[in-house]
Structure 1
Amino acid sequence: MPKPVIVTCAPTGGIHTPTMSPHLPVTPDEIATAAVEAAEAGAAIIHLHARNPETGKPDPRPELFQEFMPQIAAACDAFLNVSTGGGLGMTREERLRAAVATSPEMASLNVGSLNFGIFPMLGKYSRWKHAWEPEFLETTRDFVFKNTFTDLEYIVKELGQGHGTKFEFECYDLGHLYNLAWLIEQGWIEPPFFVQMVFGVLGGVGADLDNLLHMHTIAGKLFGDDYEWSVLAAGRHQMPFATQAAMLGGNLRVGLEDSLFIGRGELASSNAAQVRKIRGVVESLGHELATPSQARERLGLKGGDHVAF
C-alpha cells in the first residue's frame, strides 16, 4: 500500500504582494486563521513567513512570528515549518532570526544560490496598494538568492545541530540535490531527509514533467531509502504537479505562497480551499492524507514539546 501523502500548506510566503490578491494573509491573525483552516482541511505541515501587518511586506522579526505561531499550535496538531528564505533581499542573519528564536520542529532551507526572478509579474498590474511592491519585484531582475556552501554549513549547524530542527530542503534545480548530498557526506545532518522539489520559478528548473521525473530518479540514487520527497510548483503548475507527485508516490505542497489561484483565472478564496481541492484529487487516486503524527514519525521530528513558542 502507498504511504499516506504528506500535505504542506504555505499560507503567505514572501513573494506575492497584497495587490495581487485580497485573500493573501498579511496580519498575524490572518496568518493564524489561514494556517488553522488549512490544517483542518488536511495539511500536516504549515510553512510560515511573516509580513508587516501595515504594509504586507515580508518581515523577519521574531516577535511577529510569536504573534501567530502559538495561536496555530494551540488550535491544531499540524507542525510548523519556519522559513529561512524570509523575503528576497534579506541577509542570512535576518532570514534566520525567526527560526533561531522559535526553535521549530522544521525549517525550510534553499539548498543553493539561484537567480530568483519575479519581475515578470510587474506587467500584470497597473495600480498598486503599496509603493514598495513594484520596486520589490523590479529588484529581482538583478538579484541572486544567496546560499553558498558556507551559508549552508552555518544554517544546518545552527538550527539542525543547535536546535534539533529538521529541514524542508528546497531544491530548485538538479544541482541542489547534489549540494544536499554533499551536506550529508560531511555528516552534518541525519536522515530522514525531507526533499522539496521546486518547479516553475524563473531562475530554477522549469515546470516540465520530464524534469520532475529526472529529479525524482536522481534523488533516489543519491538518498536511497533515507528521504521523503515532496513537490511544489509555482502558479498555474501548482495543482498539476501536486497531482503528479501523488501519482508517483510522493508528497506535495500547496498554498498562496506558491499560487494565488485555484483554477484558470480564478483566485483561491483561501489556503484551505487549495488544500481541500488537492485532497479531493489525492483521495480520488485512492490515497490517504498523512496525519501530523504520521508525518512527524516519518520525518523524525523532535516533537511539539521541544519548541520555543
Structure 2
Amino acid sequence: MSTTDKVIISCAVTGSVHTPSMSPYLPLTPDQITEQAIDAANAGAAILHLHARDPIDGRPTPDPKVFDQFVPRIKAATNAVINITTGGSTRMTMEERLAYPIQAQPEMCSINMGSMNFSIHPAARKIQEWIHPWEKPYIEGMEDMIFRNTFKDIKYILQTLGDGFGTKFEFECYDVGHLYSLAHFMDEGLIKGPVFIQSIYGILGGIGADPENLSIMRTTADRLFGRENYRFSVLGAGRHQMPLLTMAAIMGGNVRVGLEDSLFIGKGQLAHSCADQVRKIRRILEELSMEIATPEEARIMLGLKGKDAVNF
C-alpha cells in the first residue's frame, strides 16, 4: 500500500470546550496532557492537536508559559506531528490565540474557516455538581458567544504563520460555506497545497452529524479543489465520533479522535484516555484492511516542514 492510501489518525487531546466536571479523565495539567498525548501517539496517532489548560482550575488558557510545560516534552518523547490551536476559545483575543503559535512556529496549526455560533450550552443541564465556579457560566454563556474568524482574521493567520514560518494548517470546516471560504483563500494565493481539510459534524451552530452531510462535504470539496489536491479528514462530535469516522475512512478520508471531540468510548461509557479512542478507531480501520500512517508518512502526505524546523 502506498503512503497516500494510508489513514492519518489525528488526536485532539483536551480542547477548550469540555470542563472538568464533565469527565474525571479530561487532561488538564501539563503532566496529564503530556501523558495522554504520548500515549495517544504510541497508540497510533500521527498528529497531536493541542490546547492548554490552567493547571489550577482547568480553564482554557493561551499562556505560552503553560504550553511550554508540555509541548517540548511531547516532542522529545514522540515523533508525532504537533499541531497547535489558533482557535483557543471563544473568550480569547486574536493576540492571545496566536501568542504560542508565533513563539513555537510549529509544523501545523488548526484554523477555523469562519465566524460562527459554536455552543454546547444545553450540556449544562446535565451537570448536577460543578467542581469549579467558572464552569457553569462558561458553558451556559456559550449561548450568547460567537467564535470569531473574519476573512481578515483568517488572512492574518495564514500570512503570519504560513508565510512567516512555513506552518501548514488543519483547516477546520464546520459547514459547507467554510469550504467555499477555503476555496476563496486558495484563489487569492494565500494557501499552498497539499490542503488538509478537517470537516466537523455535530457541533451546535455547524453542520449536523448526518451521514448524508458527510457525503455533501466530500463531494463539495471534490468539486472545489479536485480530490487529488486535498486530504479529507472527519471529526464527529460526541456520540457521532466512531460511526462518522468509519464512514469517512471508507470514503477515502482520514480521522480525528480525542477528548476534545468526545468524552466517550461507547454508549454511556466515558473514555479513560485519548489513547482509548485512538486504539478503538485503529482497530476498526485495521479490521477493514486499512493501514495507519506513521508520523513521517503523514509529514510527506501533508507537505510539512519537519520536526526539527520548529521553535520548541
Could you tell me how far 1:263 is from its partner in structure 2? 0.3
Following superposition of structure 1 onto structure 2, how do residues 1-309 of structure 1 map, counting pairs within 5 Å?
Answer: 3-224=5-226, 225-309=228-312
Distance 1:98 1:229 in 2: 27
Could you tell me how far 1:245 is from its partner in structure 2? 0.9
Distance 2:89 2:43 in 1: 27
Could you tell me how far 1:279 is from its partner in structure 2? 0.4
Could you tell me how far 1:221 is from its partner in structure 2? 1.1
Aligned-partner SS, 1:195: strand
Distance 2:259 2:49 in 1: 11
Distance 2:150 2:85 in 1: 17
In the alignment of these two chains, the number of paired residues is: 309
- After superposition, the CA RMSD in angstroms is 0.8
Distance 1:94 1:81 in 2: 17
Distance 1:41 1:123 in 2: 34
Distance 1:166 1:273 in 2: 28
Could you tell me how far 1:249 is from its partner in structure 2? 1.0
Aligned-partner SS, 2:153: helix
Aligned-partner SS, 1:157: helix
Aligned-partner SS, 2:106: coil
Distance 2:218 2:9 in 1: 18
Distance 1:93 1:291 in 2: 33
The answer to whether the 8 Å contact 2:234/2:245 transfers is yes
Identity of aligned residues (%): 56
Distance 2:143 2:274 in 1: 29
Aligned-partner SS, 1:272: helix
Aligned-partner SS, 2:158: helix
The answer to whether the 8 Å contact 2:13/2:258 transfers is yes
Could you tell me how far 1:89 is from its partner in structure 2? 1.3
Could you tell me how far 1:143 is from its partner in structure 2? 1.2
Distance 1:286 1:68 in 2: 35
Letter in 1 for 2:136: P
Distance 1:81 1:222 in 2: 25
Aligned-partner SS, 1:231: strand
Distance 1:154 1:279 in 2: 36
Aligned-partner SS, 1:67: coil
Distance 2:153 2:90 in 1: 16
Could you tell me how far 1:63 is from its partner in structure 2? 1.2
String of CA shifts for 1:234-287, please: whole Å, max 9, x gaps: 100011111111111100000000000000000001110100000000001100
After the TM superposition, which parts of structure 1 deviate over 6 Å for at least 4 consecutive aligned residues?
Answer: none
Distance 2:120 2:268 in 1: 19
The answer to whether the 8 Å contact 2:90/2:148 transfers is no
Could you tell me how far 1:116 is from its partner in structure 2? 0.6
TM-score, with normalisation over the residues of structure 1? 0.99
Could you tell me how far 1:139 is from its partner in structure 2? 1.2
Could you tell me how far 1:88 is from its partner in structure 2? 2.1
TM-score, with normalisation over the residues of structure 2? 0.98
Distance 2:47 2:202 in 1: 22
